[in-house]
Structure 1
Amino acid sequence: MSAIAVAMEIGGVAAGGHFTVPVTSFAERKFSTVYRQQYDFSCGSAALASLLTFHYRDPVSEREVFVDMFDHGDQNKIRRQGFSMLDMKHYLQRRGYRSNGFKVALEQLNVPAITIVNQQGYLHFVIIKGSRPREILVGDPSVGIKAIDRQQFEAMWENRILFLIEDGSHHASSTYHDDQAWEPRVRAPLAAGVDRSSLANSNLLRRGAFDL
């Protein structure tokens, strides 16, 4: 059973109250806002699907992006080298977005962006989700969300090109540098727990039809 579907009940809190707290595993937490790539050469489609779904309120699966870019792209080249930023740009055009590659200093970046890093000779697409003076927060389709030492990231970030969607940046900027994404552990939200006895009373006192 997925840990997302698990709820932990805590009894004996605050003079006998009962609280239900959702439980999420560390592994699931790492992929909470980035899709895990399904194929060896699909980091590009996973990164783009993640960017649209989690930062631009435009839900789309990795498979949908993969199939569309593969069908419209140079399939032999894609099999050898994977997807390119040009494949992404063409896909976004078909979806109604403007996008392009830019050379922008990390200090100036205020929206999530896709970029390429060199991981031991292997070129890999990731999403830059935030930055601090000593760390860069990255959504990596192969391992999930992680914070990378800034100097280490700079060494991996060879071409210094950021692929940005030019539309819908207002909402995307609100998801950049999300403090919760930096948290190494998931804290039990006891303060937000609901006392079941209070909830039951509330339901009993409410009469008639209502809309959620």
Structure 2
Amino acid sequence: MRWLLLLLLLCCPAVWAGSVPLGEHLPALGDLNKPVQSILERRYANIERQHTDFSCGAAAVATILRYAYGHATNERWVMDGMLAMADPEQVKHYGFSMLDMKQYLQMLGMRVRGYRLGDEKLRQVRVPTIVLLNIRGYQHFAVLRAIDRHDRVYLADPALGNRVITFKEFKESWNGILLAVIGAGYRPDAPLANPSPPLSVRGKDGLFAPVNETSLLEFGFQHKELM
């Protein structure tokens, strides 16, 4: 995964957040400034970034815990917790496994389920899940946010940020397993579960399959966890 981090450093411009003065001054309001978001901030919005070659799994777990459940956590905390339950040398060479993630999440009181779904069921998934992708021969964990009705796949990638690929591209790189994190406090309205469409798309109505209690129950949630 080192190439992912190198690519990231080469491609990210040094742009910071701030505010842009609009050049207007109204006596009652003072100077008008419009808050802006940098390209880098937009790329990594609602993502816990990966900071080592082997921590994409920890960053993916932290992304779901923080931006789907509202937990106060980050990549470092998750990585330390997972390393305490795994073989550090093995992790440094091969990265974290889905089993490492499962054990850590279960320690937090979450339930973890693995799914193999056909194409139609996959298109209907409206809960962020962890997926393992093969990117140029490297095994890399990311979060599948959603798939829209135009077969665009929305990923929260710990190394490359928010990105959108075709359904065909996703299927070609995916290992076929979804890892779902289930527990109390899930927020169906969280930004992680509701990605913004590309700028070329007008409106969001009808773009994604609806999220309702029935679909969440079928996915493994319990009534008490949705109250």
1:136 aligns with 2:143: no
2:183 aligns to what? 167
Over alpha carbons, which structure has the higher Rg? 1
Task: State the AA in 2 paired with 1:8.
Answer: V
Task: State the AA in 2 paired with 1:156.
Answer: S
Q: 2:100 aligns with which of 87, 90, 101?
A: 87
Q: 1:33 aligns with which of 46, 62, 73?
A: 46
Q: 2:123 aligns with which of 107, 118, 128?
A: 107
Count residues in correspondence: 182
Separation in structure 2 between the aligned mates of residue 34 and residue 60 of structure 1, nearest angstrom: 12
Percent identical among aligned pairs is: 31
Cα displacement string for residues 76-98 of structure 1 (whole angstroms, at most 9, x for unaligned residues)? 32122100111111111111111
What is the CA distance between 1:44 and its match in structure 2? 0.3
Quote the RMSD (CA, aligned, Å): 2.5
Cα displacement string for residues 41-76 of structure 1 (whole angstroms, at most 9, x for unaligned residues)? 110001111111111111201000111101111223
1:134–1:150 Cα contact (<8 Å) kept: yes
Give the structure with the larger helix fraction.
Answer: 1
Which consecutive unaligned segments of at least 5 residues does structure 2 have? 1-13, 201-227
Cα displacement string for residues 113-151 of structure 1 (whole angstroms, at most 9, x for unaligned residues)? 111011011110000112123310001111100001221
What is the CA distance between 1:183 and its match in structure 2? 4.0
Separation in structure 2 between the aligned mates of residue 150 and residue 107 of structure 1, nearest angstrom: 9
Q: 1:155 aligns with which of 166, 172, 184?
A: 172
Task: State the AA in 1 paired with 2:54.
Answer: F
1:7 aligns to what? 19
Task: State the AA in 2 paired with 1:102.
Answer: Y
Larger RCO (CA within 8 A; separation ≥ 6): 1
